[in-house]
Amino acid sequence: MQFNLALLASALLAAASPVLGADFGWFTGADCTGSVILSTSGVPPNECVAIGNGASAKSISYSGVPNLVEFFESGGPHDQCTNGAAIAGVAGSGCTNAPAGFNLQSFAYA
């Protein structure tokens, strides 16, 4: 019985995760093309998400964003969602490209 309850709780959490957050994909190419560097699912609002190990992306896809999403450049003062976003995306779904000559390193949404 205890195993079944734990299994049921896990299944419910897994089913609820798309409702609890947005999904993002990090790409090597512009316009959300090329290889997928990382996929992040169920990201909650008001949390900075940064790609690690010195990696960065040319573009980031997003879906399930209820409000404004902000993307931050890689390198220097903008890492880890600091010192102003490079680009702001709209609610819903889309793909955002890094500014010319830059990559994206982090994002946050409200």
Average pLDDT (72-88) is: 90
| pTM value > 0.85 | no
Q: What is the pLDDT of residues 10-63, one digit of tens each?
A: 333 444 444 579 999 999 999 999 999 999 999 999 999 999 888 999 999 999
Instruction: Tell me the domains of the chain and their CATH numbers.
Output: 21-109 (2.60.20)
Q: What is the CA radius of gyration of the chain?
A: 16
Whether pLDDT at 93 is above 60: yes
